[in-house]
């Protein structure tokens, strides 16, 4: 076998084929992550634009009943109505600034009996010595007014199994489904929630994280895929060509 055949035998072409497939795959995944980042940038721009739009009021939420929830998402809103404190629920294992506690949610009956909307009022710490002890919060009686932003549903945490029979009546829960909760209470809940954002005067914290579509995450993934692609290129050139050069095969003192 001549030197050319030895250098470019079946192993050479097999490694070349594998390297091309890996380089093509990692590069494609990198470009796909860049396209996802572009999509998320457009989504973030749309969200930011909605948050800058004029504030909605009670009557505007009635559009949600006609299937217009999507058009209302992330809009700021000014609500007037009366709290229904007996229906307050506490979502467990929610964090705020690194501390574990409860999200406090209370239905608000809108002024003029225009419906009931669930309000995510804020965060309260939990008693780690007594799991079932509820935090003391202030729920004003009578007419109240609050500011917030509209969300489609309550953010969910992973749970190993759905709540069993009888657990729905507990005020401390892991997750909350709007439809099931409305049926449980017999209230005409609107198919959305409002995250309260005005200054806290009820003992709750409202340091909500800003709405973020995760654009930076996709740029990070793209960098990793392109970096892996570049590494395969370097290794391919080194082992398939540089290591095969005559001076790499020479023995010391030859």
As a whole number of angstroms, the distance between CA 155 and CA 176 comes to 9
Q: Average pLDDT for residues 81-101, to the nearest whole number? A: 93
Please name every residue paired with 99 in a beta bridge, in sequence order, or none if there are none: 96
The predicted structure's pLDDT at residue 2: 55
Q: Which one has a higher pLDDT value, 249 or 197? A: 197
The predicted structure's pLDDT at residue 250: 54
Q: Average pLDDT for residues 220-229, to the nearest whole number? A: 97
Residue 56 neighbours by CB distance under 10 Å: 19
The predicted structure's pLDDT at residue 167: 45
| pTM reported for the whole predicted model | 0.79
Measured CA angle at 112 (ends 108, 116), to 5 deg: 25
Positive or negative torsion for Cα 168, 174, 180, 186: positive
153 has a pLDDT exceeding 50: yes
Averaged confidence pLDDT in the chain:
87
The predicted structure's pLDDT at residue 164: 44
The predicted structure's pLDDT at residue 71: 84
87 has a pLDDT exceeding 90: yes
As a whole number of angstroms, the distance between CA 240 and CA 207 comes to 56
Q: Average pLDDT for residues 230-237, to the nearest whole number? A: 95
- pLDDT tens digits, 13-31: 999 999 999 999 999 999 9
Beta strands in the chain (DSSP E): 56-57, 76-83, 89-96, 99-110, 116-125, 143-151, 172-173, 189-196
- pLDDT tens digits, 155-187: 888 776 555 443 455 889 999 999 999 999 998
Task: Report which DSSP code applies to 75.
Answer: -
As a whole number of angstroms, the distance between CA 220 and CA 30 comes to 10
- pLDDT tens digits, 35-72: 999 999 999 999 999 999 999 988 888 776 666 788 89
Q: Which one has a higher pLDDT value, 148 or 240? A: 148
The predicted structure's pLDDT at residue 127: 84
Q: Average pLDDT for residues 121-145, to the nearest whole number? A: 88
């Amino acid at each position: 076998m001549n030197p050319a055949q030895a250098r470019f035998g079946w192993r050479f072409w097999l490694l070349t084929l594998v390297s091309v497939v890996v380089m093509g795959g990692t590069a494609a995944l990198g470009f796909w992550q860049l396209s996802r980042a572009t999509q998320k940038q457009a989504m973030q721009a749309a969200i930011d634009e909605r948050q800058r739009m004029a504030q909605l009021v009670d009557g505007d939420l009635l559009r949600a009943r006609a299937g217009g929830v999507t058009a209302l998402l992330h809009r700021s809103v000014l609500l007037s109505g009366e709290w229904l404190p007996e229906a307050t629920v506490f979502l467990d294992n929610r964090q705020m600034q690194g501390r574990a506690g409860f999200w406090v949610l209370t239905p608000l009956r809108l002024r003029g009996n225009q419906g009931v909307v669930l309000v995510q009022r804020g965060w309260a710490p939990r008693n780690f010595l007594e799991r079932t002890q509820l935090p003391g919060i202030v729920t004003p009686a009578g007419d109240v007014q609050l500011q917030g932003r509209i969300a489609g549903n309550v953010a969910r945490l992973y749970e190993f199994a759905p709540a069993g029979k009888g657990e729905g009546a507990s005020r401390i829960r892991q997750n909350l489904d709007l439809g099931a909760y409305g049926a449980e209470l017999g209230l005409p809940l609107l198919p959305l929630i409002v995250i309260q954002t005005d200054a806290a005067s009820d003992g709750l914290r409202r340091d909500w994280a800003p709405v973020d579509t995760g654009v930076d995450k996709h740029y990070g993934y793209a960098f990793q895929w392109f970096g892996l692609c570049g590494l395969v290129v370097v290794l391919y050139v080194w082992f398939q060509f540089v290591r095969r050069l005559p001076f790499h095969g020479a023995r010391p003192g030859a």
